[in-house]
Amino acid sequence: MLFDTHAHYDDEKFAEDRYAVIENAHQSGVSYIINAATNIKSCEDSLALAHRYEYMYAAVGIHPHEVGDIDDDTLDKVALFAKDDKVVAIGEIGLDYYYDTAPREIQRHWFAQQIDLARELKMPIIVHDREAHQDSMEIIKQHKANEVGGVFHCYSGSVEMAKELLNHNFYISVGGSLTFKNAKKLVEVVKWIPMDKLLIETDCPYLTPEPHRGKRNDSSYVKFVAEKVAEIKEISFEKVAEITLNNAKKLFKI
C-alpha cells in the first residue's frame, strides 16, 4: 500500500544488488516506485527499470548538478524519452545553491526550459530545491508551472512557502529527513499540510531514515517515513499509506 515517489535505483550504490533490492521492497509492501532521472544516461536507465517492473515508473529530466554542459539537443532527448508510456513526470529538475555544481544563472535557465517542456507535454514536474527557495518560487510562477503542477521533493522550506506552493498546484513530499532529530521545521510543515497534498519518498540511496540512518537507503524504508507522518498527524499508518498512495496516483496519472 506504500508509494515511494522518488528513488534513484540507477545509482552506482545499487550496482551489485539493484534488482534484488527493488524486488524485496515490492514484496515488503511498496506498491509503486518512481525512479527519478538526473541526466541522459539516467533517463535511459530509469526507463529500462520501469519496463522491467510493472510497478515502477520513471521521471525524465536533467538535475541541477548536471546542467553545466547541456544544450537544446539534450532537452530534445528528454522530450523523446517523455513520450514513453512509463514516464509520468519531468524530473528531477530545479535549483541547488548548496553545492553550486553549475553556475546559478545556468541552473535557472535550464530549470525554466524544462518547466516549459513539461507544459508542452502536459506533464507534472518533480522539483529539487536546495537553499534556493526564492528563485525556485519565482521561476515556477513566471513559467506557469501551476498549469501542470507537480511536487517539491524532499521538502525543506517553511510552512509559508508550502502554503504558496499548494496555491500553485503543487504537492509536498517528505522523506527520511522527517525522522531526524533536527527536523523541527519539517515536522511543523507536516503538522500543517492537508493530507490530500502530501507525498512520501525515500530519495534512495540517500537520506536514510531513522533507525537506519548512515546505511544505504531503499524503498522498503519508506514505511518509516509513513510511520512518522502518522505520529505527527495522529492518524493510523494505514491511513497515511492509503492517502499518500492515492495522492501520488492522482498527480502522476497512474
* Interatomic CA distance for residues 57 and 43, integer angstroms: 11
Query: What is the predicted pLDDT for the residue at 150?
Result: 98
pLDDT above 90: percentage of residues in the chain: 100
Q: Which CATH architecture has domain 2-233+243-252?
A: Alpha-Beta Barrel (3.20)
Residue 153: which of 117, 208, 111, 199 has the closest Cα? 199
Confidence of residue 131 (pLDDT cuts 50, 70, 90): very high
Q: Contact 31/57 with Cβ under 8 angstroms? A: no
Q: Per residue in 182-196, pLDDT tens?
A: 999 999 999 999 999
Average pLDDT, the chain: 98
pLDDT score recorded for residue 73: 98
Write out pLDDT tens, residues 212-253. Answer: 999 999 999 999 999 999 999 999 999 999 999 999 999 999
**Mean local confidence (pLDDT), 87-103:** 98
With a CB cutoff of 8 Å and minimum separation 6, the contacts of 31 are: 1, 2, 3, 55, 245
Q: What is the pTM of this model?
A: 0.98
Q: For the chain, what are the domain ranges?
A: 2-233+243-252
**Phi/psi at 96 (nearest 5 deg)?**
-135, 100
pLDDT in tens, 159-208: 999 999 999 999 999 999 999 999 999 999 999 999 999 999 999 999 99
How far apart, in whole angstroms, are the C-alpha atoms of residue 55 and residue 119? 26
